[in-house]
A and B are shown apart, each in its own frame.
Chain A
Amino acid sequence: MDLQTALFLLADGLTNGAVYALVGVSLVLIYTTTRVVNIAQGEYVTFGALTLASFIEGAIAPVVWVVGIGGAVSLALDVRQAILNRRSVVRPVAQYAAIGAVLAALTLAAWHTRSLALQMLAALALVSALGPIVYRLTVEPKPGSSTVVLVIIGVGVSMIMHPMALLLWGPDPRSVPAISDGRLPLGPMDIAYQSLFVMAVSILATLALFAFFRFTLLGKALRAASVNREGAQYCGIPVVLAGRLSFFLAAALSAASGLLLAPLVTAHYEMGFVVGLKGFVGAAMGGLVNYPLSVAGVVTLGALESFASFLSSSYRDALVFALVIPIMLWRNRHAQEDLDEH
């Protein structure tokens, strides 16, 4: 392996990592605010990409139905909850109606427009709306569930969303135009502008989330909600809203990842699963609680993957996953000092 090849691989690894980074960051977001380990996060990537593809083809994205039905069920549950708590029914209905109106407007606009930006926005909005719906239906009913139960619920969500993508869009890959088709020459190699966009968005998102949770009061309140739910409620922190909001944001980030990734690898129903898994592994290397570390984790994973692919493409995944373990051990040891038993 000469220097040029090594550089190529390194650049390659960074690009990989950028792809996984947004998913990794959304996983950290969800974990730090709700303690849910969301294995199904990769599906939002798929849905985001395919929804955009639908708009570009000039069709109404079938995901509209899913959002509509899911939203209706959530509304029904919320209304029931409001009645049981003897609170106003008008509020949830109004909220859902407002959100529904916005989504409908965006969808119609995207359906008729040629503007890529508007289509991306609409796709992003629709798929992000799935996040709180999933939260409402699977986590909110029993927020105190144990890790095992939440992990398996995540598996269940994955079992619903993965075949749904196949059902709604079929197995054929669909093309999505890039924001920019060019490539940036860097010495002997080049990187697609689109990849740079992905990296830029990932870095921005990471910094924003990091700053938000570390320095703002609201961010700290949201973190508190996951550490001690009841205590946070007594302090007036809207715990339920926190959960829905974080799922919304996480879905948005993952969908954005899908939108940006699709031009590079086409939108097809299998694209999200592996990205989600590798994002999860990378984020976990950062302990699932730390944004900068999780980005470092996914980038490390991306680089590992790149080099392992070069060394032996058949054993690539075995090498990468096997190397995850010593990294986790090392992290675990360093985390021991300030971690109490869980």
Chain B
Amino acid sequence: MKLLRSCMAAVWLVLLVPVAAMADNRPEFRIGTVNSVTGGASAIAAGAVSAIDLLEQKLAADDSLPFKVRFIKYDDGSDPAKAINAVRKLAQEDKVHIVICCTTTPSSMAVNKIVEEEKIPNISLAAAASVIEPASERRFTFKTPITDRLMLDFTLDDMVRKGYRRVAFMGLDDSYGEGGWVEFNALAKKKGIEVVAAERFSRGDTNFTPQALRVARHKPDAVYFHAIPPSAALAHETLKRVGYSGPIYHGGGAPTPAFLSVGKRAVEGAIVGTAALTVHKQLPDAHPLKKAVSDFVKIYDGHYGEGKADMFAAQAYDAVMIPVRAWSKVPAATRGGDLVQARAALRDAIENTRDYHGVIGIFNFSPEDHLGLDSRSTFLVTVKDGRFVLLER
């Protein structure tokens, strides 16, 4: 009995010891990443995880950098509490220089406080603008994904230009869809567009007819979807089937190969907001984004297969390369010196990044803007013959 008890205690200790033994200060550049590898957001995180794995290999083989890059990767299981734990662990135990967290907006919002407390720079992969606003309170948080607001602004302008006054919204019922809805609603009001219907559906739904029916009944001038495949394509298909024949727009989560393979003929004619990645082949060679995107696609597709590169991977790619580049700008003495100062220097270096041609877009960070993207990075494409085709501005 007693023996068993002490064995149990020993087992508990053994579990704790490796956790405690991580403190180790080597002259390397440590990047901590927290992604939703499991849980509800894992579909969104998959691309990011692949990109980070790819970069880990690429940077390990890269001798031109004056430092080693080491990745420490954790999974938050789509749970903000775990994200907080992971970030704290990365900052306090693993002593990383920068954190890349998180996949979802709620997790990113939850770790904001920790990031400011620990004074460690963070690059978020979440879609909402609220992650980095107000900039005065979020000094250490940056993000690479195009915000819903930026993309919607561009998309809604197109609707205004074409004279669509009455628009319906259909989106996912999770934080991704909700983020889109909030921005859509606010921007629509500002631009004088009337939102005639707002319907929600789940990622795992097998049936979209009721929502589609309701939207079709209002006979809107245009319908906007904020979802990811397969539900984005399936709901689109259902909408057409119940008799709506007008223009259909999609948000930034849709332009993936899966959208086309799931939607097939039904999504012909859809207008999708996207970044340069989707149509880089159709960009003129002189376009500022062409080179960065093509290089990325070559590396990524070369490793994972033709056509695999998507926005989520691109966002993560930029999220790693920006700090790597910024770190080289930090003086070597600071790099090897006190961790707190090193992190602060890194933060400043990132904030001073100007005109960086990333894969997602051209980044211009500033103390007021921790996204740094503008409409040069947003594009509208349409689905034609089963491919995404660039729409001229």
Q: Using known A-B contacts A172-B258, A173-B230, A313-B201, determine if residue A166 contacts B213 with beta carbons closer than 8 Å.
A: no
| Chain A: number of interface residues, binned into ranges | 20 to 34
Scoring B201, B203, B262 by chain A CB atoms within 10 A of each residue's CB, the highest score goes to B262
Q: Please tell me if A264 contacts chain B, counting CB pairs below 8 Å.
A: yes
Mask of A300-322 contacts with B, CB within 8 angstroms, 1/0: 00000111011001100100000
Tell me the chain B residues, 185-208 only, with Cβ under 8 Å from chain A.
Answer: 199-207
Q: Are B207 and A15 in contact (CB under 8 A)?
A: yes
A274's contact among B42, B43, B173, B204, by CB below 8 Å, is which?
A: B204
Q: Please tell me if B302 contacts chain A, counting CB pairs below 8 Å.
A: no
A261's contact among B206, B214, B217, B241, by CB below 8 Å, is which?
A: B206
Mask of B212-255 contacts with A, CB within 8 angstroms, 1/0: 01100100000000000110001000000110000000000000
Q: Please tell me if B46 contacts chain A, counting CB pairs below 8 Å.
A: yes
Task: Give, as a whole number of angstroms, the nearest-CB distance from B303 to chain A.
Answer: 15
Residues of chain B within 8 A of A16, CB atoms compared: 206-207
Q: Are A266 and B234 in contact (CB under 8 A)?
A: yes
Q: Are B210 and A12 in contact (CB under 8 A)?
A: yes
User: How would you classify the secondary structure of chain A's contact residues: helix, strand, loop or mixed?
Assistant: helix
Residues of chain B within 8 A of A173, CB atoms compared: 229-230, 258, 261-262
Q: Please tell me if A268 contacts chain B, counting CB pairs below 8 Å.
A: yes
Q: Are A19 and B214 in contact (CB under 8 A)?
A: no
From B310, which residue of chain A is reached at the shortest CB distance? A172
Task: Give, as a whole number of angstroms, the nearest-CB distance from A245 to chain B.
Answer: 29
From A309, which residue of chain B is reached at the shortest CB distance? B210
Q: Please tell me if B130 contacts chain A, counting CB pairs below 8 Å.
A: no
Residues of chain B within 8 A of A309, CB atoms compared: 207, 210-211
Tell me the chain A residues, 222-267 only, with Cβ under 8 Å from chain B.
Answer: 261, 264-266
Q: Are B262 and A266 in contact (CB under 8 A)?
A: yes
Q: Please tell me if A175 contacts chain B, counting CB pairs below 8 Å.
A: yes
Q: Please tell me if B341 contacts chain A, counting CB pairs below 8 Å.
A: no
Q: Please tell me if A147 contacts chain B, counting CB pairs below 8 Å.
A: no
From A310, which residue of chain B is reached at the shortest CB distance? B210
For the complex, what is the distance from the CA of A209 to the CA of B291, rounded to whole Å? Answer: 63
Q: Please tell me if A47 contacts chain B, counting CB pairs below 8 Å.
A: no
Mask of A92-114 contacts with B, CB within 8 angstroms, 1/0: 00000000000000000000000
For the complex, what is the distance from the CA of A273 to the CA of B206, rounded to whole Å? Answer: 11
From B242, which residue of chain A is reached at the shortest CB distance? A8
Q: Please tell me if B209 contacts chain A, counting CB pairs below 8 Å.
A: yes
Residues of chain A within 8 A of B234, CB atoms compared: 265-266
Q: Are A313 and B213 in contact (CB under 8 A)?
A: no
From A315, which residue of chain B is reached at the shortest CB distance? B200
Q: Are B38 and A163 in contact (CB under 8 A)?
A: yes
For the complex, what is the distance from the CA of A270 to the CA of B41, rounded to whole Å? Answer: 11
Q: Are B262 and A313 in contact (CB under 8 A)?
A: no
Residues of chain A within 8 A of B206, CB atoms compared: 16, 19, 261, 264-265, 271, 274-275
Residues of chain B within 8 A of A172, CB atoms compared: 46, 257-258
Scoring B205, B210, B211, B261 by chain A CB atoms within 10 A of each residue's CB, the highest score goes to B210
Q: Please tell me if A5 contacts chain B, counting CB pairs below 8 Å.
A: yes
Q: Are B46 and A170 in contact (CB under 8 A)?
A: yes
B204's contact among A273, A305, A307, by CB below 8 Å, is which?
A: A273
Residues of chain B within 8 A of A144, CB atoms compared: none
B200's contact among A170, A174, A190, A314, by CB below 8 Å, is which?
A: A314
Q: Are A266 and B230 in contact (CB under 8 A)?
A: yes
Task: Give, as a whole number of angstroms, the nearest-CB distance from A28 to chain B.
Answer: 21
Q: Using known A-B contacts A171-B46, A313-B199, determine if residue A166 contacts B173 with beta carbons closer than 8 Å.
A: no
Q: Please tell me if A9 contacts chain B, counting CB pairs below 8 Å.
A: yes
A–B Cβ pairs within 8 angstroms, 20 of them: A8-B213, A8-B242, A9-B209, A12-B207, A15-B207, A19-B207, A163-B38, A172-B46, A173-B230, A173-B262, A175-B261, A265-B230, A274-B202, A274-B205, A309-B207, A309-B211, A310-B210, A310-B211, A310-B213, A313-B210
Q: A166-B38, A166-B42 are in contact. List 15 more A-B contacts (CB 8 A).
A: A9-B210, A12-B210, A15-B207, A16-B207, A163-B38, A171-B46, A173-B229, A264-B206, A265-B206, A270-B43, A270-B204, A274-B202, A306-B210, A310-B214, A314-B200
- Shortest 10 CB-CB contacts between residues of A and residues of B: A309-B210, A173-B230, A310-B210, A171-B43, A274-B204, A266-B230, A12-B209, A171-B46, A270-B204, A313-B199
Question: Interface on A for B, CB 8 Å cutoff?
Answer: 5, 8-9, 12, 15-16, 19, 163, 166, 170-175, 190, 261, 264-266, 268, 270-271, 273-275, 305-307, 309-310, 313-314, 317
